Amino acid sequence: MSTVLEVKNVTLRFGGLVSLDNVSMSVTRGAISAVIGPNGAGKTSLFNCLTGAYRPQEGQVLFTASDDRQSQLVGKTPHKITALGVARTFQNIRLFPALTALENVQIGVESRQRSGALAAMLRLPSNRRDDRDSVAESVRLLDFVGLRHRVHEISASLPYGDQRRLEIARALGTKPSLLLLDEPAAGTNPAEKRELEGLIRRVADTGVSVLLIEHDMRLVMSVASAVTVLNFGKVIASGPPEAVQRDPAVVEAYLGAAQDEGTGT
Protein backbone atom coordinates (compact mmCIF):
# COMPACT_ATOMS: atom_id res chain seq x y z
CA MET A 1 0.00 0.00 0.00
CA SER A 2 1.43 3.35 -0.94
CA THR A 3 1.33 6.47 1.15
CA VAL A 4 -0.15 9.73 -0.10
CA LEU A 5 0.78 11.82 2.92
CA GLU A 6 3.50 11.46 5.52
CA VAL A 7 3.54 13.79 8.52
CA LYS A 8 6.85 13.63 10.37
CA ASN A 9 7.47 15.11 13.82
CA VAL A 10 5.36 18.21 13.26
CA THR A 11 5.37 20.73 16.10
CA LEU A 12 3.28 23.91 16.00
CA ARG A 13 3.43 26.52 18.73
CA PHE A 14 1.53 29.73 19.37
CA GLY A 15 3.65 31.60 21.91
CA GLY A 16 3.81 29.26 24.90
CA LEU A 17 0.95 27.08 23.66
CA VAL A 18 1.89 23.86 21.89
CA SER A 19 -0.95 23.05 19.46
CA LEU A 20 0.83 20.12 17.81
CA ASP A 21 3.51 18.25 19.69
CA ASN A 22 5.81 16.06 17.58
CA VAL A 23 2.93 14.69 15.49
CA SER A 24 3.69 11.88 13.05
CA MET A 25 1.14 10.01 10.95
CA SER A 26 0.67 8.68 7.47
CA VAL A 27 -2.29 8.43 5.11
CA THR A 28 -2.68 5.42 2.82
CA ARG A 29 -3.44 6.23 -0.82
CA GLY A 30 -7.02 5.53 -1.83
CA ALA A 31 -8.20 4.93 1.75
CA ILE A 32 -10.58 6.81 4.01
CA SER A 33 -8.72 7.79 7.19
CA ALA A 34 -9.84 9.81 10.18
CA VAL A 35 -8.40 12.14 12.81
CA ILE A 36 -10.33 12.27 16.05
CA GLY A 37 -9.82 13.82 19.47
CA PRO A 38 -11.49 16.05 22.05
CA ASN A 39 -12.15 19.75 21.40
CA GLY A 40 -8.94 21.75 21.17
CA ALA A 41 -6.83 18.62 20.56
CA GLY A 42 -5.18 20.18 17.49
CA LYS A 43 -7.13 18.53 14.66
CA THR A 44 -7.88 21.72 12.68
CA SER A 45 -4.36 23.00 13.41
CA LEU A 46 -3.04 19.83 11.78
CA PHE A 47 -5.14 20.47 8.65
CA ASN A 48 -3.89 24.06 8.65
CA CYS A 49 -0.30 22.76 8.63
CA LEU A 50 -1.11 20.37 5.77
CA THR A 51 -2.65 23.11 3.63
CA GLY A 52 -0.18 25.95 4.18
CA ALA A 53 -2.46 28.05 6.39
CA TYR A 54 -0.07 27.50 9.32
CA ARG A 55 3.64 26.87 9.16
CA PRO A 56 4.84 24.43 11.83
CA GLN A 57 8.08 25.39 13.59
CA GLU A 58 9.36 21.83 13.25
CA GLY A 59 8.75 18.75 11.16
CA GLN A 60 7.88 17.74 7.64
CA VAL A 61 4.76 17.11 5.59
CA LEU A 62 5.51 14.97 2.55
CA PHE A 63 2.86 14.64 -0.12
CA THR A 64 3.12 12.17 -2.98
CA ALA A 65 1.07 13.27 -5.98
CA SER A 66 -0.71 10.87 -8.32
CA ASP A 67 2.31 11.02 -10.68
CA ASP A 68 4.45 9.73 -7.76
CA ARG A 69 6.27 13.03 -7.36
CA GLN A 70 6.97 13.85 -3.75
CA SER A 71 6.76 17.40 -2.36
CA GLN A 72 7.53 18.97 0.97
CA LEU A 73 4.38 20.94 1.85
CA VAL A 74 5.88 22.89 4.77
CA GLY A 75 6.70 26.38 3.49
CA LYS A 76 4.45 26.17 0.42
CA THR A 77 1.55 28.56 -0.09
CA PRO A 78 -2.05 27.29 0.17
CA HIS A 79 -2.48 27.99 -3.57
CA LYS A 80 0.54 25.88 -4.50
CA ILE A 81 -0.60 23.04 -2.23
CA THR A 82 -4.05 23.07 -3.87
CA ALA A 83 -2.36 22.92 -7.28
CA LEU A 84 -0.34 19.88 -6.17
CA GLY A 85 -3.60 18.05 -5.43
CA VAL A 86 -4.60 18.67 -1.81
CA ALA A 87 -8.07 20.16 -1.22
CA ARG A 88 -10.00 20.83 1.97
CA THR A 89 -13.29 21.85 3.43
CA PHE A 90 -13.62 24.00 6.54
CA GLN A 91 -15.09 23.36 9.97
CA ASN A 92 -16.94 26.66 9.62
CA ILE A 93 -18.40 26.59 6.12
CA ARG A 94 -16.57 28.99 3.79
CA LEU A 95 -18.71 29.46 0.70
CA PHE A 96 -19.36 32.69 -1.16
CA PRO A 97 -22.84 33.17 0.31
CA ALA A 98 -24.19 35.52 -2.38
CA LEU A 99 -23.11 33.28 -5.27
CA THR A 100 -25.07 30.33 -6.63
CA ALA A 101 -24.13 26.73 -5.99
CA LEU A 102 -22.79 26.53 -9.56
CA GLU A 103 -20.66 29.67 -9.19
CA ASN A 104 -19.16 28.39 -5.96
CA VAL A 105 -18.06 25.16 -7.61
CA GLN A 106 -16.79 27.05 -10.69
CA ILE A 107 -14.39 28.96 -8.45
CA GLY A 108 -12.81 25.64 -7.48
CA VAL A 109 -12.75 24.36 -11.05
CA GLU A 110 -11.36 27.60 -12.54
CA SER A 111 -8.55 27.79 -9.99
CA ARG A 112 -6.72 25.14 -12.04
CA GLN A 113 -7.54 26.38 -15.56
CA ARG A 114 -4.87 27.73 -17.88
CA SER A 115 -6.33 31.11 -18.74
CA GLY A 116 -6.49 32.17 -15.10
CA ALA A 117 -8.58 34.52 -13.04
CA LEU A 118 -7.77 37.74 -14.93
CA ALA A 119 -8.80 36.32 -18.30
CA ALA A 120 -11.93 34.97 -16.66
CA MET A 121 -12.85 38.40 -15.30
CA LEU A 122 -12.19 40.13 -18.60
CA ARG A 123 -14.12 37.42 -20.48
CA LEU A 124 -11.36 37.14 -23.07
CA PRO A 125 -12.17 35.03 -26.17
CA SER A 126 -9.42 32.55 -25.26
CA ASN A 127 -11.42 31.97 -22.15
CA ARG A 128 -14.77 30.94 -23.61
CA ARG A 129 -13.91 27.30 -24.03
CA ASP A 130 -12.67 27.19 -20.43
CA ASP A 131 -15.98 28.77 -19.42
CA ARG A 132 -18.03 26.08 -21.11
CA ASP A 133 -15.79 23.37 -19.69
CA SER A 134 -15.97 24.76 -16.18
CA VAL A 135 -19.78 24.96 -16.25
CA ALA A 136 -20.06 21.37 -17.47
CA GLU A 137 -17.55 20.13 -14.90
CA SER A 138 -19.23 22.08 -12.08
CA VAL A 139 -22.66 20.68 -12.97
CA ARG A 140 -21.17 17.19 -13.03
CA LEU A 141 -19.72 17.71 -9.54
CA LEU A 142 -23.00 19.12 -8.21
CA ASP A 143 -24.71 16.04 -9.56
CA PHE A 144 -22.05 13.85 -7.93
CA VAL A 145 -22.69 15.34 -4.47
CA GLY A 146 -26.47 15.16 -4.93
CA LEU A 147 -27.12 18.86 -5.61
CA ARG A 148 -28.12 18.76 -9.29
CA HIS A 149 -31.46 20.35 -8.35
CA ARG A 150 -29.71 23.27 -6.55
CA VAL A 151 -27.46 24.47 -9.40
CA HIS A 152 -28.83 28.01 -9.62
CA GLU A 153 -29.75 28.53 -5.98
CA ILE A 154 -27.93 31.11 -3.89
CA SER A 155 -25.68 29.14 -1.57
CA ALA A 156 -26.67 31.09 1.58
CA SER A 157 -30.28 29.96 1.07
CA LEU A 158 -29.39 26.25 0.98
CA PRO A 159 -30.10 23.96 3.92
CA TYR A 160 -27.05 23.41 6.10
CA GLY A 161 -26.44 19.84 4.97
CA ASP A 162 -26.51 20.97 1.32
CA GLN A 163 -23.97 23.71 2.08
CA ARG A 164 -21.65 21.06 3.55
CA ARG A 165 -21.97 18.98 0.38
CA LEU A 166 -21.49 22.08 -1.78
CA GLU A 167 -18.18 22.71 -0.02
CA ILE A 168 -17.14 19.18 -0.93
CA ALA A 169 -18.10 19.78 -4.58
CA ARG A 170 -16.07 22.99 -4.62
CA ALA A 171 -13.07 21.21 -3.13
CA LEU A 172 -13.40 18.39 -5.69
CA GLY A 173 -13.40 21.04 -8.42
CA THR A 174 -9.67 21.55 -7.85
CA LYS A 175 -9.13 17.87 -8.87
CA PRO A 176 -7.47 16.76 -5.65
CA SER A 177 -5.82 13.41 -5.06
CA LEU A 178 -6.17 14.02 -1.31
CA LEU A 179 -9.33 15.54 0.18
CA LEU A 180 -9.30 16.85 3.76
CA LEU A 181 -12.72 17.18 5.39
CA ASP A 182 -12.94 19.14 8.67
CA GLU A 183 -16.05 17.92 10.51
CA PRO A 184 -18.22 17.47 7.41
CA ALA A 185 -21.10 16.09 9.48
CA ALA A 186 -21.14 18.88 12.08
CA GLY A 187 -24.61 20.36 12.41
CA THR A 188 -26.25 17.91 10.01
CA ASN A 189 -29.29 15.73 10.80
CA PRO A 190 -29.26 11.90 10.80
CA ALA A 191 -30.57 11.64 7.21
CA GLU A 192 -27.92 14.12 6.01
CA LYS A 193 -25.25 12.14 7.91
CA ARG A 194 -26.22 8.95 6.05
CA GLU A 195 -26.07 10.76 2.70
CA LEU A 196 -22.72 12.20 3.64
CA GLU A 197 -21.39 8.77 4.52
CA GLY A 198 -22.41 7.54 1.06
CA LEU A 199 -20.80 10.58 -0.54
CA ILE A 200 -17.48 10.07 1.28
CA ARG A 201 -17.41 6.47 0.05
CA ARG A 202 -18.18 7.57 -3.52
CA VAL A 203 -15.35 10.12 -3.39
CA ALA A 204 -12.94 7.38 -2.27
CA ASP A 205 -14.28 5.08 -5.01
CA THR A 206 -13.12 7.65 -7.60
CA GLY A 207 -9.56 7.13 -6.31
CA VAL A 208 -9.34 10.25 -4.12
CA SER A 209 -7.74 9.62 -0.72
CA VAL A 210 -9.83 11.07 2.12
CA LEU A 211 -8.69 12.30 5.52
CA LEU A 212 -11.55 13.34 7.73
CA ILE A 213 -11.85 15.04 11.09
CA GLU A 214 -15.06 13.94 12.73
CA HIS A 215 -16.69 13.86 16.15
CA ASP A 216 -19.46 11.46 15.13
CA MET A 217 -17.97 8.14 16.22
CA ARG A 218 -20.54 6.05 14.40
CA LEU A 219 -19.62 7.75 11.13
CA VAL A 220 -15.87 7.39 11.79
CA MET A 221 -16.17 3.72 12.73
CA SER A 222 -18.24 2.95 9.66
CA VAL A 223 -16.20 4.75 6.95
CA ALA A 224 -12.61 4.96 8.17
CA SER A 225 -10.08 2.15 7.79
CA ALA A 226 -7.47 3.96 9.92
CA VAL A 227 -7.84 6.40 12.79
CA THR A 228 -5.34 8.75 14.43
CA VAL A 229 -6.24 10.14 17.85
CA LEU A 230 -4.95 13.51 19.02
CA ASN A 231 -5.15 14.77 22.59
CA PHE A 232 -3.53 18.04 23.72
CA GLY A 233 -1.59 18.16 20.44
CA LYS A 234 -0.11 14.67 20.78
CA VAL A 235 -0.88 11.46 18.90
CA ILE A 236 -2.09 9.12 21.66
CA ALA A 237 -3.21 6.23 19.42
CA SER A 238 -3.46 5.18 15.79
CA GLY A 239 -4.60 2.12 13.90
CA PRO A 240 -7.78 0.36 12.78
CA PRO A 241 -10.94 1.92 14.27
CA GLU A 242 -11.92 -1.08 16.41
CA ALA A 243 -8.49 -1.21 18.09
CA VAL A 244 -8.35 2.54 18.62
CA GLN A 245 -11.82 2.60 20.17
CA ARG A 246 -10.73 0.05 22.80
CA ASP A 247 -7.39 1.74 23.53
CA PRO A 248 -7.29 2.72 27.23
CA ALA A 249 -5.52 6.03 26.47
CA VAL A 250 -8.34 6.96 24.05
CA VAL A 251 -11.08 5.97 26.47
CA GLU A 252 -9.41 8.04 29.16
CA ALA A 253 -8.95 11.10 26.91
CA TYR A 254 -12.64 11.10 26.01
CA LEU A 255 -13.78 10.41 29.59
CA GLY A 256 -11.54 13.22 30.82
CA ALA A 257 -12.97 15.60 28.23
CA ALA A 258 -16.54 14.57 29.14
CA GLN A 259 -15.83 15.13 32.84
CA ASP A 260 -14.37 18.57 32.14
CA GLU A 261 -17.52 19.50 30.24
CA GLY A 262 -19.67 18.09 33.04
CA THR A 263 -17.98 20.25 35.66
CA GLY A 264 -17.91 23.27 33.38
CA THR A 265 -14.14 23.64 33.38
Ligand X SMILES: Nc1ncnc2c1ncn2[C@@H]1O[C@H](COP(=O)(O)OP(=O)(O)OP(=O)(O)O)[C@@H](O)[C@H]1O
Stretch that binds ligand X, among 14-22, 157-165, 234-242, 256-264 (CB under 6 A): 14-22
Let me know: does 65 contact 71? Beta carbons within 8 Å: yes
Give the one residue of 27, 34, 42, 44 binding Mg ion; rule: CB under 5 A: 44
Give the one residue of 1, 2, 16, 39 binding ligand X; rule: CB under 6 A: 39
Give the one residue of 4, 37, 177, 224 binding ligand X; rule: CB under 6 A: 37
- Between CA 110 and CA 131 the distance in angstroms is 8
Let me know: does 199 contact 145? Beta carbons within 8 Å: yes
- Between CA 203 and CA 263 the distance in angstroms is 40
Q: Are strands 32-36 and 58-64 parallel, antiparallel or unpaired?
A: unpaired
* Nearer CB in complex with ligand X: 46/142: 46
Region 71-130 residues binding Mg ion, contact defined as CB under 5 A: 91
Kindly state whether residue 41 participates in binding ligand X, applying the rule CB under 6 A. Answer: yes
42 touches which of Mg ion, ligand X, none (CB within 5 to 8 A by kind)? ligand X
Region 101-160 residues binding ligand X, contact defined as CB under 6 A: none
* Shortest distance in whole angstroms from residue 217 CB to Mg ion: 16
Stretch that binds ligand X, among 25-33, 38-46, 146-154, 245-253 (CB under 6 A): 38-46
Window 59-98: contact mask with ligand X (x via CB under 6 A)? --------------------------------x-------
Stretch that binds ligand X, among 40-48, 100-108, 138-146, 243-251 (CB under 6 A): 40-48
Kindly state whether residue 43 participates in binding ligand X, applying the rule CB under 6 A. Answer: yes
Let me know: does 91 contact 47? Beta carbons within 8 Å: no
Stretch that binds ligand X, among 37-45, 96-104, 118-126, 237-245 (CB under 6 A): 37-45
Stretch that binds ligand X, among 42-50, 62-70, 106-114, 161-169 (CB under 6 A): 42-50
* Nearer CB in complex with Mg ion: 46/199: 46
How would you write the chain as a 3-class SS string? CCEEEEEEEEEEEECCEEEEEEEEEEEECCCEEEEECCCCCCHHHHHHHHCCCCCCCEEEEEEECCCCCEEECCCCCHHHHHHHCEEECCCCCCCCCCCEHHHHHHHHHHCCCCCHHHHHHHCCHHHHHHHHHHHHHHHHHHHHCCCHHHCCCEHHHCCHHHHHHHHHHHHHCCCCCEEEEECCCCCCCHHHHHHHHHHHHHHHHCCCEEEEECCCHHHHHHHCCEEEEEECCEEEEEECHHHHHHCHHHHHHHHHHHHHHHHCC
* Shortest distance in whole angstroms from residue 179 CB to ligand X: 17
* Shortest distance in whole angstroms from residue 226 CB to ligand X: 18
Binding site for ligand X (CB under 6 A): 14, 17, 19, 37, 39-45, 91
Binding site for Mg ion (CB under 5 A): 43-44, 91
